Amino acid sequence: MSTKFMIIDGSSLVHRAFYALPILSTAGGIYTNAVYGFTTMLLKLLENVKPDAVAVAFDKSRITFRNEFYQAYKAHRQATPSELAEQFSYVRRLVEAFGIKVLEEAGYEADDIIGTVACQAEQHGFDVLIVTGDKDALQLVKPGVQVMLTRKGITDLEVFNPETFFAKYGITPKQFIDMKGLMGDPSDNIPGVAGIGEKTALKLLQQFGDMEAVLQHLDQVSGKKLQETLANSVEIALLSKKLATIVCDMPLAFEAESYKFQPDMAKLQELFILLEFQSLIPRLTGLTAGKTIPALEEHSLPTAQIAVSAEDLAEIRKSLRTDSCLAVFPVVSGAVPALTVDGMAVSCQGQAVYVPADSACWDGILSLLADSSVAKMTHDGKQLLNSCRQMGAPCRHLAFDTIIAAYLIEPSATDYSLNVLSHQYLSQMANVTAGDSQSSDFAVWAARTIEALYPVFRQRLESAGLFSLFADIEVPLVDILSAMETGGITVDTEHLKTINRDLSAKIEKLLAAIYAISGEQFNVNSTKQLGALLFDKLQLPVIKKTKTGYSTDAEVLDKLLGRHPVIEYLLNYRMLTKLKSTYLDGMGILVNSLTGRIHTTFNQTVTTTGRLSSSEPNLQNIPVRTEEGRRIRELFIPGRDWNLILSADYSQIELRVLAHMSDDANLIDAFRQNQDIHTRTASEVFGVSMAEVTPPMRSKAKAVNFGIVYGISDYGLSRDIGVARKEAALYIESYFSRYPGVKKYMEQSVAMAKEQGYVSTLFGRRRYLPDINNSNFSLRSFAERTAMNTPIQGTAADIIKKAMVDVYALMQERRLKSRMLVQVHDELLFEVTEEEKDEVASLVKQAMEQTVELSVPLLVDVNTGENWAAAK
């Protein structure tokens, strides 16, 4: 197989690109259109030609040896515009990052270097390809040397070999020089013989062969006039030919090794980011595949099952610099706690392999994962860590998770799949195997894509001030959530069955009573049928309507209480069936039959505020508000090797955060004195002493406090506490006059959102509010309330997340057996041993209260019990 040598006329292509593309510049004002055009061409060439050796030649100066004997050579050329001149240094840096040798010599044009190197390479047995936009280079075509010429623009390319050249021009490449000598070339200021054009030159050369032959046999030239013209122009003809001749014997040493193409992926990514070539980054990943590392080349990518040897992994390990990351992407099936790992793709600087779990060098992969000196990046680190926990293999030093990065950059997005991210951030086409995340091809693509996304995300995180939140809180939390999911929480299944039987009996009785009172059997779960009974047959007053009919929700039923005996039964029925279907039946089937535990999924990228969410089952909405509901909490018990459930919850964390962020003196005072905040608010709003606050006053004040946190509106408050809107407005006015700092803070939050388009938490987490200036009242109001609520809810979320990181680290440090089980926004749940109970209680309380220092103290209540209900 022959080896390919590609020589590019950098000067020519950059000029072409500059004039072919509209002026582009980065946000920082760097002009990039020529660099961009050149880079896309270079990438395309590397992809299509797959050269083994590459060089790029540049003109070094305007003055060359040709000026020595002909001053006017290229003299009338316009000066390079500064917009283009500035781009050459970036082109050079790019070429160097690509690991491509740059050629330039004082006194010579790029063409001469190209001619010289082309001849040398051809003599060394290379297949040479010259790429240029300058037709002059066509004279270099010969067996073993092809010229690729840009036609119009920069994408249309035409390849010439001796045959295709002759077919097109009817002369040989060597004669091309004679043509130019005779005709001249106005663009280069080559004079040529006056009065000889293309037709005549062609005729002469076809008859005589070359210029020298023409001049020696002037007598044989047809036409007296032409003979005279030529005779008078011998010197100028020979000079013109000399000017047009590309030098092929410059004194240049040829070292084949120095032209070997070896891209530096890290440098390239850096430059692409700098120049804002995001869309080109993924093209880098294909560059070196199976190319530069011989050990990998043998098992050439990307076939599905790749046998990888220990040496291959050693190569990867070798190419891992201390500041570089290993991208990993596991292929898994099933879910926690019955997860199977089929294999894993790993990639380092574009060199990727897929290793099946049953292959000989799987241990090599596991040792890479366990090696804390090798930083890992992945997409969905929790999945990776769950996989490792499943195998009982440690995975150390998770440094970057693209799913978390994408979430922090854009928390309102709903789809953080790699496919979407590569499209969104790398402008990459959808991966064809994307539907099959089980496939090894997908995994290899995924690992490379993660690497390509890394610099983009890293830069975005840093420029948005999100990196510390990312690296110090969110990424460490990934491992903790994985541990919590894998560990699970034990459920008392016997007790579950008992409660379920009990509930079923009660529901059956209620159902019978409902049928008896209403005089008909119907589906009570159907709001449509229930509405027909209540509002058509029984003629009860319609309190509220929904889009599709009558509303029958608890609020409506509450208002109908006493108007008909069936209402009370319905309310109870609703409550009990909810408990049964969602919490007993629904959760029951999710208890693992082997471990007796439930393994929820904690989602770290769902909420727009920064909170976690929990699903399958949702352990963050286990009933607590009613007596019947609290029985569900009795089902959550410590595992066999533990003794107690410990619960630690922040007291009024959101209002404390508000006190801190608003810097309201009155609110701060309330918390510094550790007063009952709702009583204090009642005293302020109603203008009475705290001792005079009555229970209804306190309850109203409590609603006001909630309203404040949610982004208050008189309408919402009036609806919640059942007073006239005017009265609600009065409470709000009164509140703000007593807490002016809070009022100012809320106004600032909205103003900030309107100005910069987003609001942020104490830790820098952002939420964008595109509707904040919308002319639609409803949408705008919603955005305004969000602007008030998100910094508070989000900061509280930041705080408990940071506390989890602190608590987990301390528990590991002290090698405690007790384990963190669940997070419920302001509460952490643990299973603890009797011996560790006191230590964990004080450790947790301390860590949670001290994780951040606010202008008011954080207060954590800790309780233990034999189950979740008892730990209150």
Contact criterion met (CB below 8 Å) for 24 and 33: yes
Residue 652 binds DNA, judged by CB under 7 A? no
Write down the least CB distance from residue 686 to DNA, Å.
Answer: 16
Write down the least CB distance from residue 574 to DNA, Å.
Answer: 4
Q: Which of residues 676-705 bind DNA (CB under 7 A)?
A: 703-704
**Per-residue CA distances from 222 to 203, 207, 209 (Å):** 10, 10, 15
Q: 784 in helix, strand or coil? A: helix
Residue 860 binds DNA, judged by CB under 7 A? no
Count CB neighbours of 57 within 10 A: 28
Residue 555 binds DNA, judged by CB under 7 A? yes
Residue 554 binds DNA, judged by CB under 7 A? yes
DSSP 8-state secondary structure symbol assigned to residue 601: E
The piece of 39-47, 92-100, 786-794, 863-871 that touches DNA (CB under 7 A) is: 786-794
**What string of DSSP letters covers 685-725?**
HHT--GGG--HHHHHHHHHHHHHHHH---HHHHHHHHT--H
| Closer residue to DNA in complex, CB, 374/787 | 787
| Closer residue to DNA in complex, CB, 342/628 | 628
Q: Give the separation between CA 836 and CA 840, rounded to whole angstroms.
A: 6
| Closer residue to DNA in complex, CB, 38/830 | 830
Write down the least CB distance from residue 469 to DNA, Å.
Answer: 17
| Closer residue to DNA in complex, CB, 676/720 | 720
Contact criterion met (CB below 8 Å) for 355 and 343: yes
Cα 716-718-724 angle, rounded to 5 deg = 145
Q: Which of residues 562-601 bind DNA (CB under 7 A)?
A: 574-575, 578-579, 581-582, 585-586
- Binding residues for DNA, rule CB under 7 A, total 72
Write down the least CB distance from residue 632 to DNA, Å.
Answer: 8
The piece of 27-35, 366-374, 604-612, 754-762 that touches DNA (CB under 7 A) is: 604-612
Give percent helix, percent strand, percent coil of the chain, each to the nearest 5. Answer: 50, 15, 35
Q: Give the separation between CA 801 and CA 474, rounded to whole angstroms.
A: 8
* Buried-state track 166-183, b at ≥16 Cβ within 10 A, e below 16: eeeeebbbbbbbbbbbbb
Q: Which helix (H) or strand (E) holds 581?
A: none
Task: Give the CA count within 13 Å in the CB-facing half-sphere of 840.
Answer: 29
Kindly calculate the radius of gyration of the chain based on its CA atoms and give it in whole angstroms: 38
Cα 322-327-328 angle, rounded to 5 deg = 130
Pairing of strands 860-865, 644-650: antiparallel
Q: Which of residues 256-275 bind DNA (CB under 7 A)?
A: none
* Buried-state track 266-305, b at ≥16 Cβ within 10 A, e below 16: eebbebbbbbbbbebbbbbbbbbbbbbbebbeebebbeee
The piece of 37-45, 400-408, 620-628, 660-668 that touches DNA (CB under 7 A) is: 620-628
Q: Which of residues 507-526 bind DNA (CB under 7 A)?
A: 523, 525-526
Residue among 824, 854, 859, 870 that touches DNA (CB under 7 A): 824
Residue among 40, 607, 652, 681 that touches DNA (CB under 7 A): 607
**Residues making up the chain, counted from first to last:** 872
Q: Give the separation between CA 383 and CA 329, rounded to whole angstroms.
A: 9
| Closer residue to DNA in complex, CB, 429/554 | 554
Write down the least CB distance from residue 826 to DNA, Å.
Answer: 3
Write down the least CB distance from residue 767 to DNA, Å.
Answer: 8
Q: Give the separation between CA 643 and CA 599, rounded to whole angstroms.
A: 19
| Closer residue to DNA in complex, CB, 64/760 | 760
Residue among 827, 830, 836, 864 that touches DNA (CB under 7 A): 827
Q: Which of residues 700-739 bind DNA (CB under 7 A)?
A: 703-704, 706-707, 710-713, 715-717, 719-721
Residue 604 binds DNA, judged by CB under 7 A? no
| Closer residue to DNA in complex, CB, 141/598 | 598
**What string of DSSP letters covers 378-403?**
ESSHHHHHHHHHHHT-----EEEEHH
Residue among 152, 225, 625, 640 that touches DNA (CB under 7 A): 625
Residue 547 binds DNA, judged by CB under 7 A? yes
617 preceded by a cis bond (ω within 30 of 0): yes
| Closer residue to DNA in complex, CB, 359/527 | 527
Residue with tokens 């500041």: 323
Write down the least CB distance from residue 802 to DNA, Å.
Answer: 16
Write down the least CB distance from residue 677 to DNA, Å.
Answer: 15
| Closer residue to DNA in complex, CB, 161/529 | 529
Nearest to 742, CA basis, from 733, 754, 753, 752: 733
Nearest to 389, CA basis, from 359, 405, 366: 366
Residue among 371, 410, 616, 771 that touches DNA (CB under 7 A): 616
Q: Give the separation between CA 398 and CA 381, rounded to whole angstroms.
A: 7
Q: 162 in helix, strand or coil? A: helix
Q: Which of residues 397-456 bind DNA (CB under 7 A)?
A: none
Residue 112 binds DNA, judged by CB under 7 A? no
**Per-residue CA distances from 321 to 272, 325, 373 (Å):** 20, 8, 10
Contact criterion met (CB below 8 Å) for 247 and 116: yes
| Closer residue to DNA in complex, CB, 60/845 | 845
Residue among 191, 282, 350, 623 that touches DNA (CB under 7 A): 623
Residue among 825, 828, 860, 869 that touches DNA (CB under 7 A): 825
| Closer residue to DNA in complex, CB, 713/867 | 713
Residue 553 binds DNA, judged by CB under 7 A? yes
Residue 225 binds DNA, judged by CB under 7 A? no
| Closer residue to DNA in complex, CB, 340/626 | 626
| Closer residue to DNA in complex, CB, 96/585 | 585
Residue 614 binds DNA, judged by CB under 7 A? yes
Residue 546 binds DNA, judged by CB under 7 A? yes
Q: Give the separation between CA 2 and CA 223, rounded to whole angstroms.
A: 50
Q: Which of residues 449-508 bind DNA (CB under 7 A)?
A: none
Residue 549 binds DNA, judged by CB under 7 A? yes
| Closer residue to DNA in complex, CB, 211/769 | 769
Residue among 150, 790, 795, 818 that touches DNA (CB under 7 A): 790
| Closer residue to DNA in complex, CB, 120/790 | 790
The piece of 416-424, 432-440, 550-558, 808-816 that touches DNA (CB under 7 A) is: 550-558
Residue 557 binds DNA, judged by CB under 7 A? yes
Write down the least CB distance from residue 604 to DNA, Å.
Answer: 10
Residue 789 binds DNA, judged by CB under 7 A? yes
Residue 640 binds DNA, judged by CB under 7 A? no
Q: Give the separation between CA 854 and CA 653, rounded to whole angstroms.
A: 11
| Closer residue to DNA in complex, CB, 69/715 | 715
Residue with tokens 């020089």: 177
The piece of 149-157, 165-173, 460-468, 825-833 that touches DNA (CB under 7 A) is: 825-833
How far the first Cα of the chain sits from its last, in Å, is: 77
Residue among 552, 760, 761, 851 that touches DNA (CB under 7 A): 552
| Closer residue to DNA in complex, CB, 17/533 | 533
* Buried-state track 518-555, b at ≥16 Cβ within 10 A, e below 16: beeeeebeebeebbbbbbeebebeebeeeeeebbbeee
